[in-house]
Structure 1
Amino acid sequence: MEERKNIEVKREEKTDNSLVGATFIKYAAYIIIFFGLLWFLLKYVFPMFG
């Protein structure tokens, strides 16, 4: 008879703090650029048409 072994693999999900920090900085930069562009449009571009 064939003998079967039950092998249980345990893997712990670790959050890499440097990866979390880099992702936070990246999205914070996206938000700052977005609001900077929005401010520029409202301050300088839209008054040209008004």
Structure 2
Amino acid sequence: MSEFRRNNVEVEHKEVQQKSDSSLVAATFIKYAAYIIIFFGFLYFLIRYVFPKF
């Protein structure tokens, strides 16, 4: 009474293109450059506006 049915399953293959090294390096540089600019902007704010009030 028990029947085993085999389902035809279509497997979808996707090709993932990886970034080239130069674009990966550029993206990383931009990210860390933004972190550095934000950090120095925060330091400038502290030195210019917060520390003179003490």
Aligned to 2:20: 16
Q: How does 1:1-50 map to 2 (within 5 A)?
A: 11-50=15-54
Number of matched pairs: 43
- Stretches of structure 1 that go unaligned for 5 or more consecutive residues are 1-9
- Stretches of structure 2 that go unaligned for 5 or more consecutive residues are 1-13
C-alpha distance in 2 between matches for 1:46 and 1:12:
49
TM-score, normalised with respect to structure 2: 0.60
Which aligned runs of 4 or more in structure 1 are off by greater than 3 angstroms?
Answer: none
Residue by residue, what CA displacement relative to the aligned partner does 1:2-41 show, whole Å, maximum 9, x if unpaired? xxxxxxxx74513211000000011111000000000011
Structure (1 or 2) with the greater helix fraction? 1
Identical-pair percentage: 20
CA shift for structure 1 position 45: 1.2
Q: Which structure has the bigger radius of gyration?
A: 2
TM-score, normalised with respect to structure 1: 0.64
